[in-house]
Amino acid sequence: LAGILAVGFFCCLGLAVSLKDRFLVPWLGAVAIGLATVLTQSKGGLLVLGAASLIFLVFVLAWGRDRAKTGFLRGLSAIVVVAVLVGAMQARQSAPSEGGAPSTAPLGRVVAAQETQAQSFTFRKLLYQTAIDLTQKHPMGTGPGTFQYYSARPGRVTSTVYTHNTTLQLASESSWLAAAAFLGFVLVWLAQVFRGARSTEGEVGLLRAGVATAVLAAGAHSLIESSFSYYGLGLVVFALAGIALLLSADAVAPEQTPKEVRIPLAAFCVLISFAFVAFLAGEYGKARLAYALISRDPAAAKLAAEAGQRFSGGDGQFWFLRARVAANPEEALADVQRAAQLNPQPRILRMLGRMFVEQGKPGNASAIYREALDCDPNNLPALRALIDLEADQGREEEARALAQRTVDVEKSTYYTVRSIAELVPTETYYARLVLARLGKREDRPPLLREALQGYERYMAITVPQILRFAEAGIDGYAGESLQDALDKVEEAREAAILLGESDETESRRYLDSLASVAESLEEARAGLQ
The confidence score (pLDDT) of residue 95 equals 46
Nearest residue to 407 via CA among 454, 460, 444: 454
Kindly state the DSSP code that residue 253 receives in the 8-state scheme.
P
Q: How far apart are CA 72 and CA 67, in angstroms?
A: 8
- Enumerate the β-bridge partners of residue 477: 480
The confidence score (pLDDT) of residue 70 equals 54
Task: Give the residue, 143 or 314, on which the prediction is more confident.
Answer: 143
Rounded mean pLDDT, 45-74: 75
Decide: helix, strand or coil at residue 58: helix
The confidence score (pLDDT) of residue 256 equals 72
The confidence score (pLDDT) of residue 96 equals 46
The confidence score (pLDDT) of residue 76 equals 62
Rounded mean pLDDT, 264-285: 87
- Each residue's pLDDT tens digit, 105-154: 555 555 555 555 556 788 899 999 999 999 999 999 999 989 988 999 99
280 contacts: CB under 8 Å, gap ≥ 6: none
Nearest residue to 409 via CA among 386, 385, 376, 435: 376
Nearest residue to 220 via CA among 244, 237, 239: 237
Task: Give the residue, 63 or 345, on which the prediction is more confident.
Answer: 345
Is the pLDDT score of 89 beyond 70?
no
- Each residue's pLDDT tens digit, 456-497: 999 999 999 999 999 988 888 988 999 999 999 999 999 999
Is the pLDDT score of 1 beyond 60?
yes
pLDDT-wise least confident of 96-105, 329-338, 391-400: 96-105
The confidence score (pLDDT) of residue 102 equals 47
The confidence score (pLDDT) of residue 100 equals 43
At 506, the amino acid letter reads E
First to last CA, the chain: 34
The confidence score (pLDDT) of residue 71 equals 60
DSSP 431-459: HHHHHHHHS-GGGHHHHHHHHHHHHHHHH
Look over the chain and give the mean of its residue pLDDT values, rounded to a whole number: 86
Q: Report residue 19's pLDDT band, with 50, 70 and 90 as the boundaries.
A: confident
Task: Give the residue, 53 or 129, on which the prediction is more confident.
Answer: 129
The confidence score (pLDDT) of residue 204 equals 83
Q: How far apart are CA 383 and CA 377, in angstroms?
A: 9
Q: How far apart are CA 71 and CA 22, in angstroms?
A: 13
Report the residue count for the chain. Answer: 529
- Each residue's pLDDT tens digit, 165-214: 999 999 999 999 999 999 999 999 999 988 877 776 678 888 888 999 99
- Each residue's pLDDT tens digit, 371-394: 999 999 999 999 999 999 999 999
Decide: helix, strand or coil at residue 115: helix
Q: Report residue 98's pLDDT band, with 50, 70 and 90 as the boundaries.
A: very low
243 to each of 31, 238, 262, 328, 473, how far by Cα in Å? 24, 9, 17, 54, 45
Q: How far apart are CA 319 and CA 342, in angstroms?
A: 9
% of the chain surpassing 70 pLDDT = 88
- Each residue's pLDDT tens digit, 433-445: 999 999 888 889 9
CA angle 98, 101, 104 (to 5 degrees): 100
400 to each of 67, 155, 307, 403, how far by Cα in Å? 76, 21, 47, 5
56 contacts: CB under 8 Å, gap ≥ 6: 10, 13, 209, 210, 213
